[in-house]
Amino acid sequence: MPSPEAVNPKSIPALANRKEVTLEKILVPIDFSENASAAIDYAIRIGKLAGTHIALLYVVEVSRNQLNLDVYSASERIRSTLNDLETKALDRLESLCKEIRTPGIECAASVRIGIAYEEILDEAEKISPDLIVLGGTGGSALARILLGSTAERVVRFARCSVLVARYPPNQLRPSPAQSGVSDAKQ
């Protein structure tokens, strides 16, 4: 195996044929948790560098049996609760978008109802982002083996690049004055 110093970068096919990476649109699925805050902060920082459009997505998660059309249509209470959750989530997302929007960074908000990873992947198919940035919870290995996680399923099945964002373990969530959202206003 040749040493790295002896290799001419032009002789490496992957480097010789590389293409410019564009980041015009970033999908950021959030659940309003601290991990989602990390995803927003990363997306804003990337967005500032690339002058991109950030699409925030919240999924009102329901179980598969609640997605059954007969159950959903038969229960006015379920429909009402889901509509209330959808409205409240959209209000919160719109508020975040107002903070994110700056010259060079656009923001849009959407809410879906369903299974989180399926809805994230459907939204990604719909808007064709160049990158998905989402927060990871860092659950236990056993939980991941038995249940899988939304982030892992999105990473596995997304057709674009995925960044799973976390704050470093020794770093607490930044104060509002230090957060990426506040940075976006500057």
Domains and CATH numbers, the chain: 21-185 (3.40.50.620)
Q: How many CA atoms lie within 13 A of 49 on its CB side?
A: 10
Task: Say if CB 103 and CB 125 are below 8 A apart.
Answer: no
> What pLDDT is attached to residue 85?
93
- pLDDT higher than threshold 50 for residue 56: yes
Task: Say if CB 114 and CB 62 are below 8 A apart.
Answer: yes
Q: How many CA atoms lie within 13 A of 152 on its CB side?
A: 12
> What pLDDT is attached to residue 183?
41
Of 23, 43, 153, 146, nearest to 101 (Cα)?
A: 43
Residue type, 165: A
- The predicted model gives 19-43 an average pLDDT of 88
Contacts of 86 (CB under 8 A, 6+ apart): 60, 111, 113
- Answer with the residue of higher pLDDT: 141 or 159: 159
> What pLDDT is attached to residue 33?
83
pLDDT band for position 181 (50/70/90)? very low
pLDDT band for position 72 (50/70/90)? low
Q: What is the pTM of this model?
A: 0.76
> What is the percent of the chain where pLDDT is above 90?
44
- The predicted model gives 160-167 an average pLDDT of 90
- Dump pLDDT digits (tens) for 74-99: 677 777 888 899 999 999 999 999 99
Secondary structure element (H or E) that encloses residue 60, with its range? strand 53-61
